[in-house]
């Protein structure tokens, strides 16, 4: 899936229903809460994440725990990791 703005992700996420073995997310920025809600509500097993992800100071530990637990692959062709903005 690809969205270019935080608002576009807000519009799209409610229409996504799973379960999914794997999701590929691309495009513009998204908030950590949006990603977490998408994964939790759709029984997702793995994610390829090529977006800028906004994480607050209070969410850092949860974000990295979630990344390990749900096998979030951050990076891809020509990229080493998504930008995480704190």
* pLDDT for res 6: 92
* pLDDT for res 75: 56
pTM over 0.85: no
Domain ranges of the chain: 2-85
Contact 5, 28 (CB under 8 A): yes
Average of per-residue pLDDT values in the chain: 79
Of 1, 18, 13, 6, nearest to 53 by C-alpha is 6
Residues of the chain where predicted confidence (pLDDT) is lower than 50:
76-82
* pLDDT for res 9: 92
């Amino acid at each position: 899936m690809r969205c270019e703005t935080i608002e576009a992700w807000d519009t799209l996420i409610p229409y996504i229903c799973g379960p999914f073995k794997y999701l590929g997310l691309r495009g513009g920025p998204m908030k950590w809460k949006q990603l977490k809600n998408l994964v939790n509500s759709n029984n997702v097993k793995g994610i390829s994440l090529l977006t800028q992800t906004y994480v607050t100071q209070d969410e850092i530990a949860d974000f990295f725990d979630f990344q390990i637990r749900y096998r979030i692959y951050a990076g891809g062709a020509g990229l080493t990791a998504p930008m995480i903005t704190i």
